[in-house]
Structure 1
Amino acid sequence: MAGILVTRTLVGIAALSLVAGCMEGMNPLAKKEDSAIAASPGQTATRSVERDIEAPDVFQASEKGLWDGRPSLGGVWVAHPDVKEPERVIIRNESNGSFVIGALFRRERTNPGPRIEVSSDAAEALGMLAGAPVDITVTALRREEAGAPEADAVITPAEELAAPAEVETQSLDPIAAAEAAIDAPAPDAVPAPAPQTSNLSKPYVQIGIFSIQANANRTAEQMRKLGLKTEVLTATIKDKPYWRVIVGPAMSATERAETLTKVKAAGFTDAYSVTD
Structure 2
Amino acid sequence: MAETTGQAFHDMARHKTRPGWGRATCTLALLSIVALAGCDKLTKDGGSDGPAALTGGAMNLAERDIEAPEVFSLTEPGLWDGRPSLGGVWVAHPTVTDPERVIIRNTANGKFVIGALFRRELENPGPALQVSSDAAEALGVLAGAPAPLSVIALRREEAPAPDATAITNFDAPEVIAATPLDPQPGTEAPAADPAPVATDLPAAAPATPEPAPAAPTSNLEKPFVQIGIFSIEANANETADRLRADGLSASVLAQNSQGKSFWRVVVGPAPTVADRSAVLDKIKALGFPDAYAVTN
Using structure 2 for the length normalisation, give the TM-score. 0.40
